[in-house]
Amino acid sequence: MAKKLNLLDKSIPPWKLIFLLAWPTIIEQLLHTAVNYVDTAMVGSIGTHATAAIGVCQSTLMLLLGVMNIAGIGFSVTVARRIGEGDHEAARTTIRQALLSAVIIGLFLTTLVETVLAPNLPRWMGVEDYVLPYSVAYFRIIGLGYVFNTAMIVSGATLRCMGDTKTPLKFNLMTNIVNVAGNFLLIYPTRELTVWGSTFTMPGAGLGVSGAAIATVLSTTFSACCLASTLFLRKGPLQISLKDDFRPRKDILLQAFRLGVPSFLERAIISMGQIVSTALITGLGTAAIAAHQLALSGESLCYMPIFGFATAATTLVAQNLGAGDKERARQQGRWCIGIAVTAMCFLGGAMFALAPNIIDIFSNDPQVISLGGQVLRIEALVEPFFAIASVVSGVLRGAGDTRWPFYISLAGMWCIRIPLAVILIKGLGWGLHAVWIGMALDLLLRGLISLWRFRKGAWVYVWENREAKLARK
């Protein structure tokens, strides 16, 4: 197993510590993005209707991932805090409560998807009749894997906040291989392939969009089992056992949910805004839906390093504040923000220059390529502000200040992005460009407010103020 990094070792320079934490998460995001690209390209080869079917579901799927992240964020930050305090018994207890919560949340989400969302949501969003059955089937199958999906998120987040970002990377690599292989066998029918001059018969299930969903569920299940097993099998002071007490602990659950619920609400208002945006786009035609989905996939290639630095910021801030070192927490936060902004300046410039080429990877439709490239260039201009907002959110979560990312996202999404998109589409007829202009101005506002909150510095006292308040009750 990977060796846990001592994040409280002051002999390690800040920049080096951040990169040691961030690079596995960045590579993991790169692998995840690469597989998303492969997924999109494989499904897109079936036809534009297949891309649109999955695109209609994505905003809602992100909202459901936000529910899973209640446990992922709430418990992992608490584990990091207890490690900083040196209380390994409390950290182990929190890990057990995290896995228990993952099972309960996953079962609830599966029930919700199968009984309410999958049969109705695509129709509510006004998807075209010939796309509807593909969207419903995709949504139903993805929902069946939500216990494992939640366990994967919780286990991975816990390992990262323990200082181990390499184990999630290792299993993510294997998971992506399982996903691509599953796509190859399940999406396409049996066919003749020629490789290096040799022709052979490749068996296939020919399930199309449903095959892509099955492959996703299988790979997620594999990843969840591997990551959760690590928590039981790794030797050390944080190892847990099936013989341990897994009964619910009200105090730990409430602590985690106090941290996680604002993060879920943040994700919820963003996802609901994205659902509204998608509903607006469905009225613009299938080409606009496809261009929007492909541009989002293209943008994800640019901003993937942000997640590495945001994860590093959360872990470093939580452990340092747990150890009582507020100044070092501030210093690590400044370093994470500075490195992330520098990276995004370079990557945003590359995305602007190569926007049409990026869309061309996934589609051979000239209209989709042109439209997708245009809107991707709009977003490239504000990527540094996206970096600020994302990394500061990581800092604030590590400090237990999870309400402010919610407030910031609420202001950006519902005061800027959605109203502006509605005005420009309904009033001026600007089409897909209106949605992406609103998105860009939203990210600009979020970046500026986030920077103000970080520089103000009140976030370093949030956790201890909350603990003191609870102690007085």
- For 382, 402, 410, 440, the CA distances from 444, given in Å and listed in that order, are 6, 20, 14, 6
Residue 33 pLDDT: 62
- Mean pLDDT over 285-302 rounds to 79
| 35 pLDDT more than 70 | no
| 336 pLDDT more than 50 | yes
Give percent of the chain above pLDDT 70. Answer: 96
Residue with token string 């945001």? 310
Rounded CA separation 141/212 (Å): 10
- Mean pLDDT over 196-211 rounds to 82
Q: What pLDDT band is residue 471 in, cutting at 50, 70 and 90?
A: low
Quick: pLDDT tens for 80-96: 999 988 899 999 999 99
Rounded CA separation 273/419 (Å): 10
Rounded CA separation 178/156 (Å): 18
Rounded CA separation 331/36 (Å): 35
Quick: pLDDT tens for 373-392: 888 899 889 999 999 999 99
Quick: pLDDT tens for 194-203: 777 777 787 8
Q: What pLDDT band is residue 299 in, cutting at 50, 70 and 90?
A: confident
- Mean pLDDT over 396-425 rounds to 90
| 3 pLDDT more than 80 | no
Residue 152 pLDDT: 93
Residue 404 pLDDT: 92
**Rounded to two decimals, what is the model's pTM?**
0.78
Residue 21 is encoded by which pair of tokens? Answer: 């934490």
Residues 6+ apart with CB under 8 A from 197: none
Size of the chain in residues: 473
Residues 6+ apart with CB under 8 A from 387: 303, 306, 309, 337, 340, 341, 343, 344, 447
Residue 2 pLDDT: 44
Residue 1 pLDDT: 41
Residues 6+ apart with CB under 8 A from 121: 57, 60, 139
Provide the b/e sequence for 220-257 (b: ≥16 CB within 10 Å): bbbbbebbbebbeebeeebebeeeeeeeebeebbebbb
Quick: pLDDT tens for 62-81: 778 878 888 888 899 999 99
| Between 299 and 104, residue with greater pLDDT | 104
- For 8, 161, 213, 329, 396, the CA distances from 86, given in Å and listed in that order, are 11, 14, 42, 17, 21
In one-letter notation, the amino acid at residue 111 is T
Q: What pLDDT band is residue 440 in, cutting at 50, 70 and 90?
A: very high
| Least confident window among 58-62, 120-124, 451-455 | 58-62
Residue 432 pLDDT: 84
Quick: pLDDT tens for 232-266: 998 888 899 988 989 989 888 888 888 888 888 88
Average pLDDT, the chain: 85
Helices (runs of H) and strands (runs of E) counted in the chain: 17, 2
| 215 pLDDT more than 80 | yes
Give percent of the chain above pLDDT 90. Answer: 33
- Mean pLDDT over 409-423 rounds to 89
Considering all CA atoms of the chain, what is the largest pairwise distance in Å, rounded to the nearest integer? 77
| 342 pLDDT more than 90 | yes
| Least confident window among 184-188, 329-333, 349-353, 367-371 | 367-371
| 37 pLDDT more than 70 | no
| 212 pLDDT more than 70 | yes
| Between 198 and 313, residue with greater pLDDT | 313
- Mean pLDDT over 417-439 rounds to 85
Q: What pLDDT band is residue 331 in, cutting at 50, 70 and 90?
A: very high
CB atoms within 10 A of CB 170: 16
CB distance 54 to 215 below 8 Å: no
| 18 pLDDT more than 70 | yes
Residue 339 pLDDT: 94
Residue with token string 């042109």? 370
